[in-house]
Amino acid sequence: MTTGIRHDEMRKRNRALVIAAVRRAGQPSRTEIARLTGLSHSTISAIASDLIEEGIMREIGQGETAPARRGRPQVALGLDPKAATVACLHLSFNSLSAVLVDYCGRVIDTRTHRLSTLTLGRQALVDAAVSAVREIACGHEDFLRIAFAVQGITDAAGRQMLWSPITPHSDIGFGPELEAAFGVPVTVQNDCNMIAAALRWRNPERYRDNFVAILLSQGIGMGLMLNGQLFTGTHSSAGEFGHMIHKPDGALCRCGRRGCIEAYAGNYAIWRKAHGKSAMEKPIADIKAGEMDALAALARREDGLTRQAFSEAAEAIGFGIGNLFALIDPAPVAIVGQGTAAFDILEPEIRAALAQTAGGQHAEAVSFETWPHEVPFIQHGSAMTALTSLDWEVFGPGLRHGAGGRRPESGRVVA
């Protein structure tokens, strides 16, 4: 707790809570919302009528699942799709995609641009982002947020991209640049964190307060949910799982250091080993998915260098997860991305390595779930992150109860 609760703040929070309940439940009735939030029917009634009047929520009619029970039928409520739109950008190797989403979370439009991220200049990358937003948000004057997801390290404040394997340039301020161009708040976030956010929305039973999302692809990424919130460190987006040191002074990594997990488990590392190259050979830039599939097939078929390559990859991942679990405790793991195509080969050895670590005490109990395609998760996570920030920061506080807080400097109390 930081600061006292005033009267108007109670309303703001309860409003936001109602919005959040509707977003999560889909099309709940007022009674349902009362149950979900623990607030009284009268309060829900009052807040709902405010929200409807303000164009944030609307009545949907009888809802889909009309159980035809006795009594007055429930009126389903839903968020008003016209309340706002948000734009989600996703920058990855040679690709920039943009999605426009309405306030309900439905996709309005989507575009994908090819571009040569490795060779483009710093300003050209920013310009590409700006014109992608301009193109997709054109004609939608109600768009209120931009969520920018990028493969790489971002700062904790969500302002800029600090480093990325897809470009030689570092410290690119996508946040300020896009804000200057469009005048709406922008968050810059690591793509794996967005995957974690999406998992929580899609399957809150399994992915609730503590879980891990690992992206296996060219490189290795991670998103970490701790205590129910996305973990972002003090400076950067953290979660550089792929660059934990697996073997001191080991194989050469794309990042220039030696012995990183990625230097054993990234596509390029598996490819390098399978082709009998030295572990100190400079990683090659891009390997086609088909080529990796062929390697996996070969490893399944016969023993040899290729199988050994996958084996080393699995060992690195297993020890990495074990070390992670030693720190933060076993938790559900989602493995996402092209690398999951070979997960049948990897899993037994990942578990074997895991079992040798402190975090693997209950290795057999650790549960993996795999998803081959990361892009839908990244888009979904970005959209939901942007929309919930609207819920809490814009539509919860509302106009009447507006940000009119004078609330003088008010220090902090930490307990």
Among 1, 2, 7, 409, binds DNA (CB under 7 A): 7
Phi-psi map region of 171: left, alpha, beta (phi>0 left; psi -120 to 50 alpha): left
Out of 26, 49, 142, 245, name the contact with its own copies by CB under 8 A: 245
Q: How far apart are the first and last CA of the chain?
A: 7
Least Å distance, CB 232 to its own copies, is 8
Member of 104, 130, 156, 184 binding its own copies (CB under 8 A):
156
Single out the residue of 30, 90, 145, 243 in contact with its own copies (rule: CB under 8 A).
Answer: 243
- Asked if 411 touches its own copies (CB under 8 A), the answer is yes
Q: Which tokens sit at 168?
A: 């030689």
Task: Compare residues 6 and 373 and give the one whose CB is closer to DNA.
Answer: 6
Given DNA, its own copies, none, residue 354, with its beta carbon under 5 to 8 Å by kind, binds: none
45 binds its own copies (CB under 8 A): no
By CB under 8 A, name the one of 279, 326, 341, 352 that touches its own copies: 326
Query: H-helix or E-strand containing 22?
Result: helix 7-25
How far apart are alpha carbons 210 and 331 in whole angstroms? 6
1: contact with DNA by CB under 7 A: no
Say whether residue 174 binds its own copies (CB under 8 A): no
- Toward its own copies, which CB reaches closer, 16 or 99? 16
Determine contact, residues 247/296, Cβ cutoff 8 Å.
Answer: no
User: What value, to the nearest 5°, has the Cα angle with vertex 400 and ends 399 and 404?
Assistant: 85
Residue 290 interacts with which of its own copies, DNA, none, CB < 5 to 8 Å by class:
none
Q: Taking CB under 8 A as the criterion, which residues in 222-241 touch its own copies?
A: 222, 224, 226-229, 231-236, 238-241
Nearer to its own copies, 264 or 271 (CB): 264
Contact between 54 and 87 under an 8 Å Cβ cutoff? The reply is no
What are the backbone angles phi and psi of residue 119, rounded to the nearest 5°? -105, -20
Q: What distance in Å separates the CA atoms of residue 30 and residue 360, rounded to the nearest whole number?
A: 46
Please state the closest distance from residue 327 (CB atom) to DNA, in A.
40
Kindly give the pairing relationship between strand 161-163 and strand 85-92.
Answer: unpaired
410 lies in the site for DNA, by CB under 7 A: no
Using the rule CB under 7 A, is 57 a contact of DNA? no
| Residue from 171, 286, 293, 329 binding its own copies (CB under 8 A) | 329
Query: Which one of the spans 10-18, 106-114, 274-282, 290-298 is the region binding its own copies (CB under 8 A)?
Result: 10-18
Using the rule CB under 8 A, which residue among 118, 358, 399, 403 binds its own copies? 358
From CA 100, how far away is CA 81, in angstroms rounded? 12
Local structure of 180: helix, strand or coil: helix
The binding track of 86-125 with respect to its own copies, each residue x by CB under 8 A or -, is ----------------------------------------
Contact 42, 75 (CB under 8 A): no
Site map for DNA, 12-51, x if CB under 7 A? --x--------------xxxx-----xxxxxxxxxxxx--
Cβ-count burial of 159 within 10 angstroms (0-12 exposed, 13-18 middle, 19+ buried)?
Answer: middle
**Containing H/E element for 318?**
helix 305-328
CB 80 within 8 A of CB 57: yes
Between 31 and 356, whose beta carbon lies closer to DNA? 31
- Residues from 75 through 114 that contact DNA (CB under 7 A): 75
What token pair was written down for 314?
Answer: 């699995």
Based on its alpha-carbon atoms, the radius of gyration of the chain, rounded to whole angstroms, reads 24
Least distance (Å) between residue 129 CB and DNA: 39
Q: Are 73 and 362 in contact (CB under 8 A)?
A: no
Site for DNA, rule CB under 7 A = 4-8, 10-11, 14, 29-32, 38-49, 68-75, 401, 406
